[in-house]
Amino acid sequence: MRKTICGRKVIGVAGFKNAGKTTLVEGLVRALSARGYCVSTVKHAHHSFDIDHEGRDSFRHRKAGAREVAVVARNRWAIIHENPPNEDAPGLEEMLVRMSPCDLVIVEGYKGGPHPKIEVRNLALDHPRLADEEPEIVAIAASGPLKDERLPVFLRDDYEAIADFIVEFMQLGEPKS
């Protein structure tokens, strides 16, 4: 298990559909950012997505054949990269190299990666338990109490307690800012 990949501290949030992964990531980003940490995220999607829309200039540039389109404004910027049809999606390491320095990257997806992960469980759904199969799972965030687990267990919406765990486990130290 690698806590640092490409010079970045990385922890994942893993689970099955509707387990509450995105809500947990959102809560953790909010909690850790409020403490002064610079947090970035990587979200791996199993489907196609679009961040620009028909009629927008960036959409028109991309549809005309541009491999990359940069959209730049005062508040934010983005680069939209078109993968050729025969090219696989980039791996986690390739994405981490492209990102700006930060205190922590929280990854949603890349379930099979070598980084530590927090398993998210929705107890109302009958999903397999990732912690039983994945050695990179270091804690569990569940929608209700669990008994007899070998790993630390948190309520899924207790963002502050999970953030405390992450700070200690990832050895984040004091925020740099």
Q: What is residue 50's predicted lDDT score, i.e. its pLDDT?
A: 66
Q: What is residue 15's predicted lDDT score, i.e. its pLDDT?
A: 95
- Pairwise CA distance, residues 109 & 16, whole Å: 10
Q: What is residue 53's predicted lDDT score, i.e. its pLDDT?
A: 76
Q: What is residue 110's predicted lDDT score, i.e. its pLDDT?
A: 87
Q: What is residue 140's predicted lDDT score, i.e. its pLDDT?
A: 98
Task: Find how far residue 153's CA is from the centre of its chain.
Answer: 19
Q: What is residue 24's predicted lDDT score, i.e. its pLDDT?
A: 98
Instruction: Name the token pair of 79.
Output: 């680069």
Which CATH number applies to 4-44+89-169? 3.40.50.300
The one-digit pLDDT tens for each residue of the chain (177 residues) are 899 999 999 999 999 999 999 999 999 999 999 999 999 999 987 656 667 778 889 889 988 989 889 999 899 888 888 888 888 888 999 999 999 999 999 999 888 889 999 999 999 999 999 999 999 999 999 999 999 999 999 999 999 999 999 999 999 999 876
- SS3 sequence, 84-106? CCCCCCCCHHHHHHHCCCCCEEE
Instruction: Name the token pair of 8.
Output: 């970045």
Q: Do residues 119 and 137 touch, judged by C-beta distance below 8 A?
A: yes
Strand partners, 11: 106
Q: What is residue 79's predicted lDDT score, i.e. its pLDDT?
A: 87
- For the chain, which residues make up each domain, given as ranges? 4-44+89-169, 49-88
Q: What is residue 62's predicted lDDT score, i.e. its pLDDT?
A: 87
Q: What is residue 75's predicted lDDT score, i.e. its pLDDT?
A: 93
SS3 category, 139: strand
Q: What is residue 80's predicted lDDT score, i.e. its pLDDT?
A: 85
Q: H or E segment at 165?
A: helix 159-169
